[in-house]
Amino acid sequence: MPAFEGFDDVDQSTQEVFETSDTESVSSSDTTPLPTSRRDSLSYEAIDIEQSRNLFQHSKANAQLTDFNGRVDKLLGSYETFTVSETTQEKLERIRRELEEVKEELSRGKTKETEKDLQQVEVLKKSFKDINRDVKEKALLSIDIVQDHIEPFTLAPSSTSESILTSEDLLKLNEKIQSLESILGYTHPLNPSETITTKLNSLYSKIQLLSKDTESLSTITSQIDVINERFESSLALRRQGLFQTSNIGGNTVSSEQQNSLRQMEDSELLAMYDKVSKLTPFIDLLPSLLQRLQSLHNIHLNSSGAVRFVNGLEEQLGQMEAEMNQWETSLNTMDGKIKDIEKFLKFGGEEVE
């Protein structure tokens, strides 16, 4: 069906003509690229990747302290860089990788000239294996290496005064132990910074804390002395054979005496265990009790400071009250003088009239 059917003025036999844009006649190959602006401060030269790798392969960037938001409390506005030295194992791995690359390049274009190079590469690989084996053997620490690092240390006789170790001796001993631990690769799992001196200081502080309660210590000491005396007496009786029915010096020990001795020992042991069982529940409460005592001590100190402050405040209030009374007296005096002046002026005015 023709598009213009029903229009008598339109010739249906002619070909339809469509108008096109002028820009379509221009070929796309004739278009010129748009001009781009080049800044003088920027470098548009090609970057040598291999040179950059060799320059920055041992450098690392740390962005932990870096902030690009413009905050004033941050000092670093860029990354913090630091150099990482190449370890022996990394050097060996790099040499092995380079030897493999050289061998692969020479094996691709194999000629008479490259055969000599391949032989040299094989020799280098063999020497590399020997070096790597030596390094691994040295890494395995033997007893001889440890003995070389240990300095001879002899203990002085305990009867002399020189056997007492000083703080300098303890520090030297601690340094030797730390050097041996670093050689063996041992690290402390809980507190690596704790030394012998810190342990001794902590023990000394605990002993000082316990020694302050002299009353309890004296009571415990007396009880321990009594227990020791009874224990020694029982041992002496056992050695003399009093727990067996025998005759010593004409004296006979009967079974009743044996039973009484055993009952006495059993009662003493039960009493001691009873005391220990009564003290056991207070072990967990001891830290909280010490904390309460410390807080009570702080409260006493603060209360004494508050009392001193209140006393000083009362003194200042008394001084202010005395100054106010003096000020009131001076105001009354000034008021009387003003009244006298008013009377004098009034009397002078009457005389003028």
Q: What is the pLDDT of residues 231-278, one digit of tens each?
A: 887 777 766 655 454 444 444 445 666 677 777 777 877 888 777 777
pLDDT (0 to 100) of residue 165:
57
List the alpha helices (DSSP H) in 69-195: 88-108, 112-139, 143-149, 167-184
Residue 296 covered by a domain? no
pLDDT at residue number 176: 75
How far apart are alpha carbons 247 and 253 in whole angstroms?
Answer: 7
Residue 230 confidence (pLDDT)? 81
The mean pLDDT value of the chain amounts to: 71
185 and 146 Cβ atoms separated by less than 8 Å: no
**Range ranked top by mean pLDDT from 22-26, 106-110, 323-327:** 323-327
pLDDT surpasses 60 at 157: no
3-class DSSP assignment, residue 37: coil
| Per-range mean pLDDT, top range of 75-84, 139-148, 201-210, 234-243 | 201-210
Of the listed ranges 80-84, 109-113, 144-148, 168-172, the least confidently predicted one is 144-148
pTM assigned to the model: 0.23
User: At residue 225, does pLDDT exceed 80?
Assistant: yes
* Residue 69 domain flag: yes
Residue type, 330: S
C-alpha torsion sign, points 223, 225, 230, 232: positive
Indicate the range of 1-15, 20-34, 249-263, 333-347 predicted with least confidence: 20-34
pLDDT of residue 334: 92
Residue 102 three-state SS: helix
| 28 DSSP 8-state letter | G
Mean pLDDT over 114-127 rounds to 79
The region of weakest confidence among 23-32, 52-61, 120-129, 337-346 is: 23-32
Classify residue 143: in a domain, yes or no: no
Reported as a pLDDT band with limits 50, 70 and 90, residue 129 is confident
Residue with tokens 């040598």: 48
pLDDT confidence bin for 63, thresholds 50/70/90: low
Does residue 301 fall inside a structural domain? no
User: Given CA atoms 102, 108, 113, 118 in this order, what sign does their dihedral have?
Assistant: positive
| Per-residue pLDDT, 324 | 92
58 alpha-carbon distance from chain centroid: 28
pLDDT at 66 over 70: no
Answer yes or no: is pLDDT of 163 > 50: no
DSSP letter at 60 equals E
204 domain-assigned: no
pLDDT on residue 162: 44
pLDDT for 345 equals: 85
Segment 21-33 shows an average pLDDT of 54
Higher-pLDDT residue of 74, 135:
135
Q: Domain span at residue 266?
A: 213-244+253-288
186 or 297: which carries more pLDDT confidence? 297
Domains held by the chain: number: 2
The alpha carbon dihedral of 225, 226, 232, 233 has a sign of positive
Average pLDDT over residues 272-287: 76
Do the domain assignments include residue 332? no
Q: Kindly state whether residue 270 falls inside one of the protein's structural domains.
A: yes
For residue 191, tell me if it sits in a domain: no
What pLDDT, on the 0 to 100 scale, is given for residue 148?
A: 55
For residue 14, the model assigns a pLDDT of 72
CA-to-CA dists, residue 325 to 28, 49, 316, 319, angstroms: 107, 93, 14, 10
| Rounded Cα gap, residues 123 and 116, in angstroms | 11
Task: For the chain, report the end-to-end CA distance as a whole number of angstroms.
Answer: 136
Interior/surface letters 232-261, b for 16+ CB within 10 angstroms, e for the rest: eebeeeeeeebeeeeeeeeeebeeeeeeeb
- Which of 109-113, 130-134, 139-143, 230-234 shows the lowest mean pLDDT across its residues? 139-143
Print burial letters for 322-351: b (CB count within 10 Å at least 16), e (below 16). eeeeeeeeeeeeeeeeeeeeeeeeeeeeee
pLDDT band at 161 (very low <50, low <70, confident <90, very high): very low
77 in Cβ contact with 66 (< 8 Å):
yes
* Distance in angstroms (rounded) separating the CA atoms of residues 310 and 255: 77
Angle at 333 between CA 329 and CA 339, to 5 degrees: 145
Q: Read off the pLDDT of each residue in 15-41 and give the average, rounded to a whole number.
A: 62
Is the predicted pLDDT of residue 28 greater than 60, yes or no? no
Between residues 136 and 250, the one the model is more confident about: 136
